[in-house]
């Protein structure tokens, strides 16, 4: 019988427990810290940003399953037991929700809504017509599970879509750029930039003054990757200069975003509280059960993280 450690400060354990009871009653879920007396009894872990050092104290772990698609909060633990396979979530509902977020905010900036919101606040009637989607290029940083699905939804709406990844990709209707040399070329033609990268040593602070300066003047930014992709002061400066016309931000260096952070006061920025796409227990528990069954059968888990790449 697998003994599953559940550790998250934001996910509701009750919903996950219900899903496991329905799908796999043999899995015994124990919520950290209240229900765990002895970490030696734990053999798999389902976690979101667990306290550093916690997993190292479970000597019999066979699987570490992230509650989310991103694993930066796990891999930042210096004591992470690196011999245990780490898997991340890939789930159709998670993907669908991210598509919704990206389409919503792309259309918001495409249709000049930050400007109209300012006009409304000033009771100002001034007609400006947005160009058709066919004349806008959306550039996506990260053409993985979520980036590719979002790219496909945007091409269906008529946008020109480009994407950047480590390795070159081939998807119908999406122009692929890769590696350090491919980035400036994509940025130069991007009107709306969407960041859906994992946070790694290579991608931290990538959305800085240099990168924002390579976009055409008046471009927009959507960040639904991680807060530490963005250099906050550089975005504020780019908004002040008009280099960036507007931004939608779902993720922040510090979450919750502190009440005195300058982003709150900027009408050009749309803020959402890290809700672009969240793992749903009903949908994702089946994936977690499958991964536990695989590991118990001696197979690698699905969507195992490559610890050397960091995603
Ligand atoms: P994937 O691992 O499927 O995709 C990651 C993509 O980023 C890949 O295309 C990869 O390239 C590319 N990439 C990674 N490092 C680099 C680099 N140094 N240079 C260029 N490209 C790079 O991840 P997902 O699509 O599933 O998720 C992406 C991220 O989205 C998560 O890590 C998380 O941070 C964020 N997220 C945010 C949520 C929210 O609610 N805000 C919800 C879910 C996820 P390649 O294909 O060549 O490997
Ligand atoms: C995730 C997230 O990575 O919620 O899944 O950010």
Verdict on whether the full-model pTM lies above 0.75: yes
Tell which atom from ligand 1 comes closest to the C-alpha of 200. 15
Instruction: Tell me the backbone φ, ψ of residue 170, rounded to 5 degrees.
Output: -130, 100
CA distance 44 to 49: 15
Contact 189, 174 (CB under 8 A): no
Instruction: Tell me the backbone φ, ψ of residue 146, rounded to 5 degrees.
Output: -80, -40
Instruction: Categorize the per-residue pLDDT at 12 as very low, low, confident or very high, splitting at 50, 70 and 90.
Output: confident
When pLDDT is averaged across residues 211-237 and rounded to a whole number, the result is: 98
User: Ligand 2 pocket by C-beta < 6 Å: which residues?
Assistant: 68-70, 278-279
Beta strands in the chain (DSSP E): 3-7, 28-31, 44-47, 63-66, 86-87, 137-141, 160-165, 174-178, 192-195, 219-223, 244-249, 269-271
Q: Residue 204, class by beta-carbon neighbours within 10 Å (0-12 exposed, 13-18 middle, 19+ buried)? A: middle
Instruction: Categorize the per-residue pLDDT at 258 as very low, low, confident or very high, splitting at 50, 70 and 90.
Output: very high
Q: Is the pLDDT of residue 11 over 90?
A: no
Any ligand 1 atom below 6 A from CB of 69: yes
Q: How far is the CA of 51 from the centre of ligand 1 (A)?
A: 23
When pLDDT is averaged across residues 144-152 and rounded to a whole number, the result is: 98
Closest CA to 167 of 150, 142, 186: 142
Closest Cα to atom 23, ligand 1: which residue? 144
Tell which atom from ligand 1 comes closest to the C-alpha of 165. 21
- Cα 173 → chain centroid: 23
Q: Is the pLDDT of residue 9 over 90?
A: no
Residue 49: per-residue pLDDT: 94
Contact 161, 140 (CB under 8 A): yes
Percent of the chain residues topping a pLDDT of 90: 98
Closest CA to 211 of 238, 236, 247: 238
Annotated catalytic sites, by residue? 226, 274
Q: Is the pLDDT of residue 274 over 90?
A: yes
Q: Is the pLDDT of residue 101 over 90?
A: yes
When pLDDT is averaged across residues 21-34 and rounded to a whole number, the result is: 96
Identify which ligand lies nearest to the alpha carbon of 199: 1
pLDDT of 116-142, one tens digit each?
999 999 999 999 999 999 999 999 999
Closest Cα to atom 1, ligand 1: which residue? 144
């Amino acid at each position: 019988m697998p003994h599953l450690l559940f550790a998250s400060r934001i996910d509701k354990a009750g919903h996950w427990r219900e899903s496991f009871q329905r799908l796999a009653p043999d899995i015994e879920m124990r919520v950290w810290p209240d229900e765990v007396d002895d970490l030696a009894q734990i053999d798999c872990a389902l976690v979101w940003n667990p306290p550093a050092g916690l997993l190292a104290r479970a000597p019999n772990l066979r699987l570490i399953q992230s509650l989310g698609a991103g694993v930066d909060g796990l891999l930042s633990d210096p004591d992470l037991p690196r011999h245990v396979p780490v898997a991340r979530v890939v789930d159709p509902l998670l993907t669908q929700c991210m598509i919704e977020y990206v389409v919503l905010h792309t259309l918001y900036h495409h249709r000049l809504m930050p400007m109209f919101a300012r006009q409304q606040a000033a009771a100002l009637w001034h007609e400006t017509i947005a160009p058709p989607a066919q004349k806008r290029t959306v550039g996506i940083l990260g053409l993985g599970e979520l980036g590719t699905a979002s790219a496909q939804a945007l091409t269906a709406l008529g946008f020109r879509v480009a994407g950047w990844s480590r390795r070159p990709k081939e998807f119908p209707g999406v122009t692929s750029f890769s590696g350090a040399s491919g980035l400036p070329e994509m940025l130069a033609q991007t009107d709306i930039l969407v960041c859906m990268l994992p946070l790694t040593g290579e991608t931290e602070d990538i959305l800085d003054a240099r990168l924002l300066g390579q976009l055409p003047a008046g471009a927009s930014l959507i960040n639904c990757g991680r807060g530490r992709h963005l250099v906050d002061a550089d975005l504020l400066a780019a908004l002040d200069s008009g280099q960036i016309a507007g931004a939608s931000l779902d993720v922040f260096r510090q979450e919750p975003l502190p009440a005195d952070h300058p982003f709150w006061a900027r009408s050009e920025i749309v803020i959402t509280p890290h809700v672009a796409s969240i793992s749903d227990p009903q949908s994702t528990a089946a994936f977690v059960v499958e991964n536990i069954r695989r590991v118990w059968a001696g197979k690698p888990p699905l969507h195992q993280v490559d610890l050397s790449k960091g995603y």
